[in-house]
Structure 1
Amino acid sequence: MATQKPAFASRLGFILAAAGSAVGVGNIWGFPTQAASNGGGAFLLVYLIMILLLAYPMLVAEITIGRLKRSNPIDALRSMSERKLLRMFGAFAGVTGLIVLALILSFYAIVSGWLLSYMLAPLMTLIGFDTTATWLTEFSVERNLVAMLVFMLLTVYVVRGGVNQGIERWSRRLMPMLFVLLIGMAVYILSQPGASEGLIMYLRPDFSEIFKPDLIISAMGQAFFSLSLGVCVMMTYGAYLSNQENIPKTAGWVTLIDTSVAFLAGLLILPAMFVAQNNGVEIYAADGTLKSADTLVFTVLPAMFDSLGFAGLFVSFAFFMLMLIAAITSSISMLEAPVNALREELNLERHSGTWVIATVVTLISGVIVVNFESLFGAVITLSTVYMQPLMALVFGVMLTWILRQHLLLKALQQGAENIERSLFWKIWPWYVKFICPILIGLVIWQG
């Protein structure tokens, strides 16, 4: 018996859910940290260029594949061709993308567990549980395992509810809350002494930095990670999108919301670094490099919150609540994609599939926690810096090289009847077919 196809109830539901997937820790932690470590404004400029030249075109491609085939990524990529070899390659690409996604969720759950711990710590301090607050903010295997497990259970709770009652409903609630908290926090930080120095660093690019290979590949990896590309998430959400929706415009809204959050996060965190410095917290080492770059939000910012006295407890709680909301909106999409694949490929019900995938990811996370020094950074680099752009490239090439062009046009005409006359159709297919592979290959080679 065929399983019923899930679908978003409205365009707004899709945009908020897809933007929620894109908006995550990568925007509010990863992007500002990368910017602070790579010249501030120079990184911002290159990041925006990467979003425009590479990430947005590939986002359109992944959403198009999803809606065109109306199935999970494995089947969608497998059915791009009738040739046996290409069908096998398509299925392999789908499985690989889902494996990369599981690796990302495994480290993402660990980081999100830290956010949950740091959010609860001020509350523990307020009610007098200082020992518990200290345990929540001190790095330990036990804390990491417990916090990661709690975060995974929160993610399971949402995904078990399905597309409408789970993902769409919670995206509608959490995304507006995220924007309110982010803007409120940015306004507060910008009003503090020392913030202007961080603002100048963020908005004034050093053009001598923008051609550095490390900066360029970091910006590309950040752009692809930020928009959840190359890991089958947007393909899965595309399968839930109504035929009445214009894919290029809808993808444009998702990209705009995602990029806006990243930009606002930079307005919050880079000035916050210099507010911390103004309050006596060291943010740069003697050689000029950023101290604790990989753990900026867990070292420099908590030190700044502590320097604010009693008010710092409330500011700290609000900041880490903001981070946790961003984390959950992304993690539910990361869990949904493999769950739906199990549901369709093995005819496994959603409830069981959710627990199967969550258990596998939790076990991987546990292995990373126990072998943190050797695995954590390696998994992040492999999955986000290299595999995401490569898999996004594979998906885009399959859409434009393997699928017949009249079928691609027909897919895009749903929701945009006259798209064949538009500038988008005249540029996008050949751009994804020829230019994107060259640009992604050059950036990876330079790195």
Structure 2
Amino acid sequence: MSAVRGEFSSRFGFIMAAAGSAVGLGNIWGFPTQTASNGGAAFLVAYLVLAFFLAYPALMAELMIGRHGQANAVSSLTKLTTRPWQKQFAFAVGFGGILCAGFILSFYAIVAGWMLSATLEPVTTLVGADAASLWLSEQSLTRNILFTVLFIILTVAIISRGVENGIEKWSKRLMPALLGILFALIAYVMTQEGAVEGLKAYLVPDFSSIFDPTLLVSALGQAFFSLSLGTSVMIIYGSYISKKENLVSLGAYVTLIDVFIAFVAGLLIIPAMYVAQAQGVEIFSTTTGKLLSEDTLVFQVLPALFDGMGGVGLFVGFAFFALMSIAALTSSISMLEAPVSYTVERFAMKRVQATWLIGALIAIVSIIIVCNLGTLFGLVITLTTKVAQPLLGLMCCIFVGWIWYRSSLLKAIQQGNPDVHNTLFWKIWPWYTKFVCPVAISLVFLHSLLS
């Protein structure tokens, strides 16, 4: 690989970077919220099944395309084609993924900005700056724009340093810190009244609702969103993997870490909701039984929980929102890398210039969404995570299953794993990706439309 493009320096570096992309607000903010809104444990079961049986095969497809192509998403996909219509299809899928990553980052930066302001609020309270605390804790246009832009600047600063010195270096630092804070918070919450009831809601499923079309679409979207599929991110990360590495095991590690963190995040958020409820905070509607304030759950429920802890609540609140900010940053750097890598390679632009340019464009989109929060925020989330990502992931499966020649595919995957043709993975994965994944994803969407 050219030194200009960069490369992950180690197996651990890639796993931390890819897991960092996967382990973000989608796991720690989105997954528990989706679980609480869609039947609790029933959603958990559906998510686990779809993550391993649909998202993992799609992840492998994207990683293989990237490592084989050794380029940005559009170029990597185009290299698999031989006919004009295939090249047009490749451009649509690759560029569509880049646009999807940009729009996801535009709303992601807003939520991450809320996390940053919530991280600072306990600090200002502790030092007695009450006016600043009030400003940080209340929704306002000025606060939202300021912290959204600040988060984008942080992301740009990391990405502009490249693969090894930017993405890999910071992923190695941020991921262990994230895990440490997460487990410490779980240990604390489990000692509180109401936590056991939350565990039951999270772990004991009601199988009567598991085939609900809304639940399945939400679970599929969550699986693809949390693994950064359909955004060209994993194609890009795949292009930075050494050909000496075993892609099968790398993809499995990333999927397992992602699912594990989502599951563990549920162990924190769901019991914390019931602890807050035991302290008098209204979590579910008394008339409909549905979750209240789904999009802003962690900003309304958890601060109330932390307030009930007394003085220690300030430190717990700081730790929690610091955790959320770290999770957001590990994912945002991957989403920005997708359009940046395309711009650098397609237009021969310097990385620093391309990063600041793309960052500025995304900041503009984010500000437009902030100024129209009630109408655009939920719409952009739905279009990107529940529609675009699964469909673009499906297209990558079609590329690997129907356009990429099987013999060429085998040669690509044998790099780093020369005996893969004798494994159960190779006997199942090619036809599974070719037939089962496209049909299953399509059926979920068709079921949703018909319902």
Which amino acid in structure 2 is aligned with residue 28 of structure 1?
A: I
Distance 1:436 1:317 in 2: 42
The match for 2:100 is: 100
1:394 and 2:392 correspond: no
Contact kept in structure 1, 2:123 and 2:318, CA below 8 Å: yes
Distance 1:418 1:239 in 2: 22
Distance 2:191 2:128 in 1: 30
Contact kept in structure 1, 2:52 and 2:255, CA below 8 Å: no
1:374 and 2:375 correspond: yes
CA displacement, residues 168-203 of structure 1 (integer Å, 9 cap, x when unaligned): 010000101111111111111011111000001101
1:363 and 2:388 correspond: no
Helix, strand or coil: the match of 2:208? coil
Which amino acid in structure 2 is aligned with residue 353 of structure 1?
A: A
Return the offset for 1:236: 0.1
CA displacement, residues 390-443 of structure 1 (integer Å, 9 cap, x when unaligned): 000111111221111111000100111011111111110111111101100011
1:306 and 2:307 correspond: yes
The match for 1:332 is: 333
The match for 1:122 is: 122
Distance 1:3 1:415 in 2: 20
CA displacement, residues 288-313 of structure 1 (integer Å, 9 cap, x when unaligned): 11111221101011111111111111
Contact kept in structure 1, 2:63 and 2:239, CA below 8 Å: yes
The match for 2:77 is: 77
Distance 1:419 1:362 in 2: 44
Distance 1:373 1:218 in 2: 21
Helix, strand or coil: the match of 2:207? coil
Distance 2:233 2:302 in 1: 31
Which stretches of structure 1, 4 residues or more, deviate above 3 A after TM superposition? none
Which amino acid in structure 2 is aligned with residue 371 of structure 1?
A: N
Contact kept in structure 2, 1:3 and 1:347, CA below 8 Å: no
Distance 2:347 2:92 in 1: 16
**Percent of pairs with identical residues:** 52
The match for 1:354 is: 355
Helix, strand or coil: the match of 1:358? helix
The match for 1:27 is: 27
The match for 2:209 is: 209
The match for 1:227 is: 227
Distance 2:93 2:212 in 1: 31
The match for 1:49 is: 49
Contact kept in structure 2, 1:3 and 1:344, CA below 8 Å: no
**Runs of 5+ in structure 1 lacking a partner?**
none
Which amino acid in structure 2 is aligned with residue 65 of structure 1?
A: I
Against the structure 1 CA distance between its residues 338 and 372, is the aligned structure 2 distance closer, same or farther, given a 3 Å change threshold?
same
Which amino acid in structure 2 is aligned with residue 354 of structure 1?
A: T
TM-score normalised over the length of structure 2: 0.98
Which amino acid in structure 1 is aligned with residue 6 of structure 2?
A: P
Return the offset for 1:209: 1.2
Which amino acid in structure 2 is aligned with residue 38 of structure 1?
A: N
The match for 1:189 is: 189
Contact kept in structure 1, 2:8 and 2:164, CA below 8 Å: yes
The match for 1:257 is: 257
Which amino acid in structure 2 is aligned with residue 347 of structure 1?
A: A
The match for 1:236 is: 236
Helix, strand or coil: the match of 1:236? helix
Helix, strand or coil: the match of 2:296? helix
Contact kept in structure 2, 1:273 and 1:301, CA below 8 Å: yes
1:16 and 2:16 correspond: yes
Distance 1:258 1:148 in 2: 25
Helix, strand or coil: the match of 2:357? helix
Contact kept in structure 1, 2:64 and 2:413, CA below 8 Å: yes
Report which stretch shifted further, 90-99 or 215-224: 90-99
1:427 and 2:428 correspond: yes
Return the offset for 1:3: 7.5
**Runs of 5+ in structure 2 lacking a partner?**
none
The match for 2:155 is: 155
CA displacement, residues 71-115 of structure 1 (integer Å, 9 cap, x when unaligned): 100111112112122112211211111001110000000000000
Distance 2:88 2:323 in 1: 42
Helix, strand or coil: the match of 2:209? coil
Return the offset for 1:70: 0.4
Distance 1:296 1:418 in 2: 48
Return the offset for 1:5: 2.3
Contact kept in structure 2, 1:109 and 1:152, CA below 8 Å: yes
Helix, strand or coil: the match of 1:294? coil
Contact kept in structure 1, 2:340 and 2:354, CA below 8 Å: yes
1:414 and 2:429 correspond: no
1:111 and 2:107 correspond: no
Distance 2:389 2:85 in 1: 23
Which amino acid in structure 2 is aligned with residue 361 of structure 1?
A: I
